[in-house]
Structure 1
Amino acid sequence: MKKIILALVVVASVLTACKGEKKEKVETEKAKVVDINVADLDNVNITESVLNWKGTKPGGAHNGTVSIQKGGLLLNNGTLVGGQFTFDMNSIKNLDMAGEEGAAKIEGHLKAADFFDVATYPTSKFVITKVAKENGKLLVTGNLQIKDVTKSITIPAMISTEGGITTFKSETFNINRADFNVKYGSKSFFDNLKDKFIDDLIEMSFEVKTKA
């Protein structure tokens, strides 16, 4: 009996800890000046590059991808100097329900006017403005544009080159969609949503590879 009680206490402690765990979001600032223009640089292999996303709500989560439409990485002797990536918002895919009718519904909802409004804003963009190194990792600052809002964020990332192909990969980071005027089901914009809200924080990561 004591063992059962002890086990229940342990489970309860774990559940309480998980419930209290908060996601850390990247801080947003006013968009920075872009010193190096790489808009015309097109050396990213778009078929091998991808943006991953995950959204959560009470009792569930969905994850998927967004394709990179065009991108460029500027390197100086293997050191990242700058870059720009354009994301095709019409390519939003839901993966956890792939092949099911629900996936198409989720994708349609994310593309709709009350979410990312891809008919009006078909692309998003990330433009690198600064690269620093700290404890063996890159801290990459860039202007992230979603819809009609552009904010500066800093994310941890890594870069490597093998066989003439450079891979630029971020760690997982969280953005607050409310900072980019994405309103649907957000407690930042609506009251009395009860358990019908969608978390403001969207988990993201990306992997970008250059052409051979």
Structure 2
Amino acid sequence: MKKIIKKLAILTLVSVFTVSFTSIEKEKKEIKTDKSEVVWKGYKVTGSHEGTIDIKSGSLVFERDKLTGGEFVIDMTTISSTDLEGEYKGKLDGHLKSDDFFGVVNHPTAKLVFKSVTVSGKNAYDVVGDLTIKNKTNPVNFKISIYGNKATASLKVDRTKYDVRYGSSSFFDGLKDKAIYDEFDLISDLEF
């Protein structure tokens, strides 16, 4: 009986040490910035505008093939409209880069850091992250789907939380049909 108890105790100790020293392997996968795209779409009373913005760097973190984290840096100096051409495109792009909107001279990058990731379905995750624009950080919630080495995500951003108030009827009266809605969309197609 003592030999059985002794063997069980040794087996238990070996099991505990094995589990204690076995680490869960995290794998950081870098985003291929040249094959990934972020599209923005902003809305106003009389219509909308859309365009692209480049990812400067980014990565997704996986544990046992499950998404557990991520971090992205966006190059705000690349913000560009795609629904206009010529003079009007130049004017809108310049205005978006100005201090009225994103002030890219003083704030050339924006950042998104995943704080928590929860599985919400097959290949789908709910993410809570911290989004920093113009040195102001606020939480954002969004969904991301992973398929092989590709991911898609979309989120709504309230620009007024980042001190981007130009044309906002939340802050200025009498704008009528010149009002720009506070929320804009970001849609990303990522490859890693």
TM range (shorter): 0.7 to 0.9
1:182 aligns with 2:168: no
Deviations 1:31-55 (A, max 9, x none): xxxxxxx9xx672111111211111
Choose the corresponding residue for 2:125, options 126, 132, 138. Answer: 138
Deviation at 1:103, TM superposition (A): 1.1
Structure-2 separation of matches of 1:121 and 1:42: 27
1:72 aligns with 2:54: no
The answer to whether the 8 A contact 2:46-2:178 is kept is no
Instruction: Give the aligned partner of residue 55 of structure 1.
Output: 42
Across the aligned residues of Structure 1 and Structure 2, the Cα RMSD in angstroms comes to 1.7
Deviations 1:157-193 (A, max 9, x none): 10121xxxx21211x3322111111011111221222
Instruction: Give the aligned partner of residue 129 of structure 1.
Output: 115
Alignment-mate amino acid for residue 69 of structure 2: G
Instruction: Judging by fraction of residues, say which structure has more strand.
Output: 2
Deviations 1:19-69 (A, max 9, x none): xxxxxxxxxxxxxxxxxxx9xx67211111121111111222110111000
Q: Give the paired residue count.
A: 165
> Which has the higher Rg, Structure 1 or Structure 2?
2
> TM-score, normalising length from structure 1?
0.73
Deviation at 1:77, TM superposition (A): 2.5
The answer to whether the 8 A contact 1:114-1:184 is kept is yes
Choose the corresponding residue for 1:87, options 49, 54, 74. Answer: 74
| Percent identical | 35
Alignment-mate amino acid for residue 167 of structure 1: K
Instruction: Judging by fraction of residues, say which structure has more helix.
Output: 2
Partner secondary structure for residue 200 of structure 1? strand
Structure-2 separation of matches of 1:140 and 1:167: 17
Alignment-mate amino acid for residue 125 of structure 1: K
Structure-1 separation of matches of 2:158 and 2:52: 18
Choose the corresponding residue for 2:87, options 75, 79, 101. Answer: 101
The answer to whether the 8 A contact 2:141-2:155 is kept is no
Structure-1 separation of matches of 2:101 and 2:29: 29
> TM-score, normalising length from structure 2?
0.80
Structure 2 unmatched runs, 5+ = 1-25
The answer to whether the 8 A contact 2:46-2:177 is kept is no
